[in-house]
Amino acid sequence: MPDLTAPEGFKIAAAAAGIRKSGLDLGLLYSDRPATTAAVFTRNAFPAAPILVTRQHLKVSGNTSRAVLVNAGNANAVTGEAGMNAARQCAAELAKHLGCKPSDVFISSTGVIGRPLPVEKITAAIPSLVREMNPGGTDSFSRAIMTTDTVPKVATSRADGVRMLGFAKGSGMIHPNMATMLSYILTDAKIEFAALDKALRYAVDRSFHSMTVDGDTSTNDTVAVLANGASGVSPSPERFTAQLTEVCQTLAKAIARDGEGATKFVELTIEGAPSDEAAREIGRTIALSPLVKTAIYGCDPNWGRLICAVGNSGIPLSGEEVELFIDDVPLINGDLKVASEKLKSKEVKIRVSLHSGSGKATVWTCDLTEEYIHINADYTT
């Protein structure tokens, strides 16, 4: 059983604030000292109010935080100036109770778009959150940030005296409104902002940005890492980056496995591409193709669809030479009956070999099923 307590110096809490009909819907991550904070936010043109406010806070605080406050049930997105004020009020109230500055608060929301954030419900729940925070709140927090997720997502790691504890929410598909992807990684490593930021961007490219369910990104997507230095250990940037990447990959794979209506988890390996970036782009194009995803669902080793998707990626290749494998069964001129049997597994591995360079990438996705349509068509606003 992995150690799910918070890394040194962190405390965790969750509450049922009544933002949604029932259950935990408000979470708090707290550091007893300023934590260096790096974050990656949505590329959507309409970032939600909490993202805009948090960006300002990180600027003011010089990329440090003392707390993360997350609510589920309301995205506080497309809410204009009122939404900005609502996010600021929540942060200020939490700062008052923690004895820190509002700019020390990192704030996130997930849920329905375009409805006013119920600020009073959140501020009313803050005193008990602060009172009850403790190093063992991991499970409650991981549940408080769930929306369409069917399972909570937590990853933990210890290496050379550095601990990491990561949370994520997201099921890729969006019900009722959004597939907001949120992730927070707490670590007691001692690390400068520049190195932390570089490590996070590297890890996110190889995890959350390499995981795709339906291609829709939300107004609220956020990944943040808080390093409070409480372990006193300063890992080398290489070691820290490797550790962070592994934690992020564990969380990203958990999201792909939890894709709405998915019956299969798919790992796509692209090799022989002009560059790693090109390999990732080809992998993403395949992972987003409805035709590839439905073929996998139907256990159909339809390699023409894979070839088409490779060709649709926009990446120039040096030739037509492509090899395709399911596990180690070749598809082109291969035994398609054996390939079809391999596709019946819950975990499918597809390898695309391009002979156009030495670029490699791994991308995770899931199949596309009638159940996805059913879930997403039947929600009524």
Smallest separation (angstroms) from a copy of itself to the CB of 369: 6
Segment contacting a copy of itself by CB under 8 A, of 108-116, 139-147, 162-170, 249-257: 108-116
Contacting a copy of itself (CB under 8 A), which of 1, 21, 314, 344?
Answer: 314
Residues 219-278 touching a copy of itself, rule: CB under 8 A, are 219
Contacting a copy of itself (CB under 8 A), which of 294, 330, 334, 353?
Answer: 294
Residues 128-167 touching a copy of itself, rule: CB under 8 A, are none
Contact 256, 213 (CB under 8 A): yes
Site size for a copy of itself (CB under 8 A) = 65
Segment contacting a copy of itself by CB under 8 A, of 93-101, 216-224, 243-251, 269-277: 216-224
Which residue, 66 or 169, is less far from a copy of itself as judged by CB? 169
Contacting a copy of itself (CB under 8 A), which of 154, 310, 363, 366?
Answer: 310
Farthest-apart Cα atoms in the chain, separation: 68
Cα→Cα distances 260→15, 23, 111, 255, Å: 26, 21, 16, 10
**Beta-carbon-side half-sphere exposure of residue 113 (alpha carbons within 13 Å):** 15
| Distance separating alpha carbons of residues 163 and 130, to the nearest angstrom | 23
Which residue, 114 or 127, is less far from a copy of itself as judged by CB? 114
Segment contacting a copy of itself by CB under 8 A, of 131-139, 200-208, 222-230, 292-300: 292-300
Contact 184, 230 (CB under 8 A): no
Position 99 contacts a copy of itself (CB under 8 A): no
Q: How far, rounded to the nearest angstrom, does the alpha carbon of residue 232 sit from its chain's CA centroid?
A: 28
Segment contacting a copy of itself by CB under 8 A, of 148-156, 198-206, 231-239, 317-325: 317-325
Alpha helix ranges (H) inside the chain: 49-61, 80-98, 119-132, 138-144, 193-205, 237-257, 276-288, 290-297, 303-311, 336-342, 370-377
Smallest separation (angstroms) from a copy of itself to the CB of 292: 9
Smallest separation (angstroms) from a copy of itself to the CB of 94: 26
Cα→Cα distances 81→78, 84, 128, Å: 9, 5, 28
Name the CA dihedral angle for 27, 33, 35, 41, rounded to a multiple of 10 degrees.
30
Active site residue 180: yes
Q: How far, rounded to the nearest angstrom, does the alpha carbon of residue 81 sit from its chain's CA centroid?
A: 27
Contact 29, 186 (CB under 8 A): yes
Position 116 contacts a copy of itself (CB under 8 A): no
Position 330 contacts a copy of itself (CB under 8 A): no
Per DSSP, what are the bridge partners of residue 225? 38, 185
Segment contacting a copy of itself by CB under 8 A, of 229-237, 247-255, 273-281, 305-313: 305-313
Angle of helix 303-311 versus helix 290-297 axis, rounded to 10:
160
Position 308 contacts a copy of itself (CB under 8 A): yes
Position 346 contacts a copy of itself (CB under 8 A): no
DSSP state of 326: E
Smallest separation (angstroms) from a copy of itself to the CB of 341: 12
Cα→Cα distances 379→147, 252, 370, Å: 14, 26, 15
Site string for a copy of itself, 168-207 (x = CB under 8 A): -----xx-xxxx----------------------------
| Distance separating alpha carbons of residues 271 and 354, to the nearest angstrom | 6
Single out the catalytic residue among 42, 180, 362, 369.
Answer: 180
**Beta-carbon-side half-sphere exposure of residue 126 (alpha carbons within 13 Å):** 23
Position 328 contacts a copy of itself (CB under 8 A): no
Smallest separation (angstroms) from a copy of itself to the CB of 20: 16
DSSP 93-128: HHHHHHTS-GGGEEEEEEEESSS---HHHHHHHHHH
Binding site for a copy of itself (CB under 8 A): 43-46, 75, 77-78, 80, 112-114, 173-174, 176-179, 214-219, 288-291, 294-295, 297-298, 300-305, 307-317, 320, 322, 332, 336, 340, 368-370, 372-374, 376-381
Which amino acids are annotated catalytic? 180
